[in-house]
Structure 1
Amino acid sequence: MSDGPRFPRTGTGTGTGTEELEHQKAAITRLGHELRALVEATVRTDASPDTLHRVADGVRTVTGRLTGRRRARGEIPEVDEFPAGPRFYSPVTGAGSPLAPPMRVMAADDGLIGECTLAGTHEGPPGYVHGGVSAMLLDELMGRACAAAGTPGLTVSLQMRYHRPVLLETPLRIIARVTGTDGRKIFVNGSITSRTAAPDASLVTAEGVFVTPDPDSTRALFPGLQRVMARELRG
């Protein structure tokens, strides 16, 4: 797509060395794992009010230890590869996010496949996944499929069909593939199935339309990318 933007694939940090960057990724991943365990324990516990108050005090103390400069809105973390690669704080795929399953993404012949298992953090009806979480999984992977196809875009339409309830604590497979383009528009299909069921036994399906922003819109929407480009030119 000749009129589309060309995105860099790194974040906007201060030029961290490779070894230090890998150390940072490992630390983020470890903290994210422990935070997910905490969140899951929080939504499943039947602890007494006194225990909950003591834990809340402890969590406040721990939060106070996360000092230093805070990333500004729109700033791309050094550990990220935007838009097609890993994003460490994504609520869907982020190894450092306390909200993410996280979903593992793999390339397929005609798109992308994601795998994850959802737990109490993502509950809607008792025992089942919240419908909005299903939409979030599909929107994420369908957007990643656009970028993987060389046409990164933003969601403008996502039509969902919920065929069957999605069970918690069940290994899931999410599939996304680009089905066509029209100028800057990208058309994408997606589905969620159980990894233990037949591939065509869809629990949720979606049809999406994404749009690749023009260069001016890209600069306005993602000012952090300009710092990446400037750093790459200097390097």
Structure 2
Amino acid sequence: MNVVPTESPATDPDPVGATGEELDHQRAAIAALGHELRVLVDATVRTATPTEVLHRVTDGVRRLTGQLTGRRRVRAEIPAVDQFPGGVRMYSPVTGAGSPLAPPMQVTPDSDGVVGRCTLGIAHEGPPGYGHGGMSAMLLDELMGWTCAVAGMPGMTVSLQVRYHRPVPLETPLRVYAQVTGTEGRKIFVDGSISTEEDPSVVVVTADGVFVSPDPDRTRALFPNVR
């Protein structure tokens, strides 16, 4: 769970140990590349392109991928540009400015919870013209996790029940909302909803979830790279 938006060539050294301004430049470069990748994904799924053009573009993308040299991080390794837990997640598939998969959702605290704002594109389509139900669940799960962290109780999802009241329109600004409704020991109970920015009073998807704050030993076992 997390946000933050944020040009350097692919041959730049690994940013481990970078601080301050260097990290800001790295995040800005990652966000710029993420934006262009999302534009490419949108064009790929939207444009009816002749076969020969598809082959030519495929070769071009393959050459570009070859330019992304340098050490590749392994599973569970936290990117140097991230602040985990509770901060920047540049490659989050929901909020990450550097992710070609993300909308990306912008998150801000609200008086009683947390608000997320994003617009789903054609790449997120389920039924023609509407978002895939799994995207709605992912948006809610992310934001509900955020609200736990904002409330000072970062937790992991153990249960998420989603109810779809209306289809979620694509290419329409959305308002996602989440708030903590109660706690019981290490359990955190959270409600969430999705509506459009144009008419936030009409809720199209709702959810209720249970999150659990892992104890210190479990946290160290799950996230050995967190200090």
State the TM-score, normalizing by the size of structure 2: 0.92
TM-superposition CA deviations, 1:73-103 (whole Å, max 9, x none): 1111121122222210000000000000100
Q: Find the residue that maps to 1:150 and give its secondary structure.
A: coil
Distance 1:205 1:84 in 2: 24
2:69 paired residue number: 67
> CA shift at 1:54, angstroms?
0.4
Aligned to 1:206: 207
- 1:84 correspondence with 2:91: no
Deviation at 1:45, TM superposition (A): 1.0
Show the counterpart of 2:164.
Answer: 162
* Structure 1 residue corresponding to 2:101, chosen from 93, 99, 111: 99
Paired position in structure 2 for 1:137:
139
State yes or no: 1:220 paired with 2:226.
Answer: no
SS in 1 for 2:87: coil
CA contact (8 A) 1:187 1:207 kept: yes
Number of residues paired by the alignment?
213
Q: Which has the higher contact order (CA 8 A, sep 6+)?
A: 1
2-side partners of 1:15 and 1:55: how far apart?
36
CA distance in 2: counterparts of 1:202 and 1:81, whole angstroms: 32
For the residues of structure 2 that align with 1:158 and 1:125, how far apart are their CA atoms?
22
Which residue in the other structure is 2:23 paired with? 21
* Range that drifts further, 162-171 or 83-92: 83-92
Which residue of the partner structure matches residue 54 of structure 1? 56
Q: Which residue of 2 aligns with 1:171?
A: 173
In the alignment, is the contact (CA less than 8 A) between 1:92 and 1:101 conserved in 2? yes
Does structure 2 retain, via aligned residues, the 8 Å contact 1:142–1:188?
Answer: yes
In structure 1, distance between residues paired with 2:85 and 2:164: 28
Quote the sequence identity (%). 68
Q: Distance in 2 between matches of 1:35 and 1:60?
A: 14
CA deviations 1:123-169 (Å, max 9, x no partner) are 00010000000000000000011011110000000000000001100
Deviations 1:162-221 (A, max 9, x none): 000011001100001111110000000000001101x33100000000000111111111
**Which letter maps to 2:33?**
L
Once residues 73 and 213 of structure 1 are traced to their aligned partners in structure 2, the CA distance between those partners, rounded to angstroms, is: 20
* SS of aligned partner of 1:93: coil
Q: Matched residues in 1 for 2:104 and 2:112: separation?
A: 23
Over aligned residues, Cα RMSD in angstroms? 0.8
In the aligned structure 2, how far is the partner of 1:54 from the partner of 1:26? 29
| 3-state SS in 2 of match to 1:219 | helix
User: What are structure 2's unaligned runs of at least 5 residues?
Assistant: 1-14
**Structure 1 portions without partners, runs of 5+:** 1-12, 230-235
Would the aligned equivalents of 1:86 and 1:93 in 2 still touch at CA under 8 Å? no
Distance in 1 (CA, whole Å) between partners of 2:30 and 2:16 is 17
Letter in structure 1 aligned against 2:84: F
What whole-Å deviation, never above 9, does each CA across 1:7-40 have from its counterpart, x for those lacking one? xxxxxx6321211111100000000000000000
Aligned counterpart for 1:149 among listed residues 148, 151, 155: 151
Give the superposition deviation at 1:224: 1.0
